[in-house]
Amino acid sequence: MNKKLLVIPMLSVIIPGLSACGKSGSSIDDPNKANLHVLTLNKGIGTKWLENAADIFNELYADSEGFQEGRKGVKVSIIGDTKLDGDYLNNAVLNDDIYFTEQVDYRDLVRKGKLLDISDVLTADLSLYGDQTGKTILSKIDPTMESHLNVDNKYYGVPFYDSFYGLVYDVTLWKENNLYLSNDPDDPFVPYGDPAMSVGSDNIAGTPDDGLPATYEEFGLLMDELNQRGITPFITADIAKEYVADYLYNVVADYEGVDNMVMNLTLSGTATDLITVDNAGNITKMAPTTIDQTNGYLLTRQAGRYSALNFLKNYMMTLPNGQGSGYRFVDTHTTAQRQFVQKNVGSRPDVGMIVEGSWWENEASSIIATEEAKSGKRDFAIMPIPFANAEKAAESNYKHTYLSLSRSFGVVSANCSNKKLAKEFMKFLHSDRMLSKFTADTSITRPFNYEVTIEDQSKLSNYAKSLIYLKQHSNIVYPYSSLQLEIDHPSDFKKYYFIWKSDIDGTPYSHPWDYFRDTSKSPTIKKYFDGQYDHFRERWTKF
């Protein structure tokens, strides 16, 4: 094994669009080898990582006769399709072998008997593939994720990839325009590396977030400065407006911290930061409240929700100095990606940031390559969420809390035709070596404890390194509830619904972006915040 460098703390049915997956007589099979079909959603993550892994595995077992009688060697075939998401797994008969995809209702698939029990895979010693003796897949999984995977002490899947939503910024643009915050109020922005550059939200000098906004107020200063320089502060898209809701979900988590976010998944504990807000905007803190399944709707009063709404309305959507809005709204996420990457395009202002998921660079790789061929290499990085204020930063010990939100899993079908081969491939994929290669191939992380080798680190972009650093120095929550009440009501609890659904003057909203953009509603933070409480107090009577 190579010397390790970066530690990442904490993962054939014929259906429309997948006609090549037929097992009988399929041209992808080799009649002389043991065959395995691995299907995956071919979107942001793509198929390259699986194809590279399959090549290594096929070579490793080229002479093996142990997977199918009368056959020598193996052939792992990778089939990617843009339609192969969690809905397909839920509705299709799973006659292929292994599936990697997102938006999966894991426990529902287990309940329906669609998945193979792979407990022996998760508890197997991985030393055959270079891991330390005794190390298992299960030992690498975060405890909160393990709890969701554990169904009656059995395991039917593994977590797939980390999905962090955030603001990605153009590092090259920052350096070209000296956009780094300063400690000097008379000279608020300085070049990168200037001695006066601020220490960022981690409160430590010499780290990657130096010069980036540490608080909402500093973020507001940055938004104003970008606008004054003729730079559009950030861009998002109509088709990707849910990204904003997911990012704000992370802003809530960053305010609330791990324990309070887990309370939303367990509906159990003592809530100590519930608030009410009067018509003048005065906030009153409620008495500590015991939460259980009968009154879980009270969590809509968590202060972090109100704070995140304030951040969206007063720091992202409206520039703090009152000089217009801080965003560009386009039709598709690919248009947003292209306009973010493109620079010096006629009279159109450059863009400083984009609201995106952690996979964005991998997904936009062709756009980035095209633009870099025209104007040279650009570096990107994820911007840490600013704290609400200096007091909140200190209270959080200058450490962020992030959510991994994709509900992405890797599973083996209960109808798998070669269970022995499927299980071995799953073990192989989750060795430290292959987890490291996944990060090198995709620029993102997986929900496991593993290390990135020096060899693989050399392949990482600046963005990938920033993502790894963020994960290393943050608390990570996997917001997957094992509570039956939440599992039975996916329209209320899946994704960010419990955080953002609101009823306002008889109009339902799934997330606040649409509400605050509709100026005809005279939108206020209080109305949205109170509407969340009204919505879920009513919904609770139906459970």
We report the CATH number of the domain holding residue 454 as: 3.40.190.10
Do 42 and 129 reside in the same domain of the chain? Answer: yes
Surface-to-core class of residue 73, CB atoms within 10 Å of its CB (0-12 exposed, 13-18 middle, 19+ buried)? middle
Report whether 497 contacts 239 (CB < 8 A).
Answer: no
Last residue of a domain, one of 460, 480, 505: 460
Q: Which of 221, 201, 226 is nearest to 212 (CA)?
A: 201
Predicted TM-score of the model (pTM): 0.92
How far apart CA 431 and CA 60 sit, in angstroms, is 14
Do 397 and 364 reside in the same domain of the chain? Answer: yes
According to DSSP, the residues that pair with 150 across neighbouring strands are 155
Last residue of a domain, one of 387, 403, 419: 403
In a domain, 278, yes or no: no
111 Cβ contact list (under 8 Å, min separation 6): none
Q: Which of 88, 89, 145, 102 is nearest to 122 (CA)?
A: 145
Domain count, the chain: 2
How far apart CA 355 and CA 358 sit, in angstroms, is 10
Q: Which amino acid is at 434?
A: M
In a domain, 255, yes or no: no
In a domain, 297, yes or no: no
Strands 351-357 and 232-237, by their bridges, are: parallel
Report whether 363 contacts 463 (CB < 8 A).
Answer: no
In a domain, 188, yes or no: yes
Number of Cβ atoms within 10 Å of the Cβ of 381: 24
Number of Cβ atoms within 10 Å of the Cβ of 331: 11
- Structural Rg of the chain based on CA atoms: 24
In a domain, 509, yes or no: no
- DSSP label at 127? G
Separation of first and last alpha carbons in the chain: 53
Last residue of a domain, one of 444, 460, 476: 460
Q: Which of 165, 125, 208, 38 is nearest to 430 (CA)?
A: 125
Do 391 and 438 reside in the same domain of the chain? Answer: no
In a domain, 381, yes or no: yes
Do 417 and 436 reside in the same domain of the chain? Answer: yes
Q: For 485, phi and psi rounded to 5 degrees?
A: -60, -40
- Token pair 């995977």 is at which residue? 149
Do 41 and 90 reside in the same domain of the chain? Answer: yes
Do 14 and 111 reside in the same domain of the chain? Answer: yes
With residue 292 as reference, give the H or E element that holds it: none
How far apart CA 7 and CA 451 sit, in angstroms, is 4
In a domain, 392, yes or no: yes
Q: Domain range for residue 147?
A: 4-163+406-460
Do 399 and 420 reside in the same domain of the chain? Answer: no
Do 54 and 134 reside in the same domain of the chain? Answer: yes
How far apart CA 289 and CA 303 sit, in angstroms, is 14
Please give the chain's pLDDT, 543 residues, in tens: 343 445 555 533 333 334 333 332 344 899 999 999 999 999 989 999 999 999 999 999 999 999 999 999 999 999 999 999 999 999 999 999 999 999 999 999 999 999 999 999 999 999 999 999 999 999 999 888 999 999 999 999 999 999 999 999 999 999 999 999 999 988 999 999 999 999 999 999 999 999 999 999 999 999 999 999 999 999 999 888 899 999 999 999 999 999 999 999 999 999 999 999 999 989 999 999 999 999 999 999 999 999 999 999 999 998 877 676 788 999 999 999 999 999 988 889 999 999 999 999 999 999 999 999 998 999 999 999 999 999 999 999 999 999 999 899 999 999 999 999 999 999 999 999 999 999 999 999 999 999 999 999 999 999 999 999 999 999 999 999 999 999 999 999 999 999 999 999 999 999 999 999 888 888 999 999 999 999 999 999 999
Do 369 and 420 reside in the same domain of the chain? Answer: no
In a domain, 449, yes or no: yes
Do 196 and 60 reside in the same domain of the chain? Answer: no
Res 325: pLDDT: 75
Do 399 and 412 reside in the same domain of the chain? Answer: no
Do 226 and 331 reside in the same domain of the chain? Answer: yes
Res 12: pLDDT: 33
Half-sphere exposure for 382 (CA within 13 Å, toward CB): 26
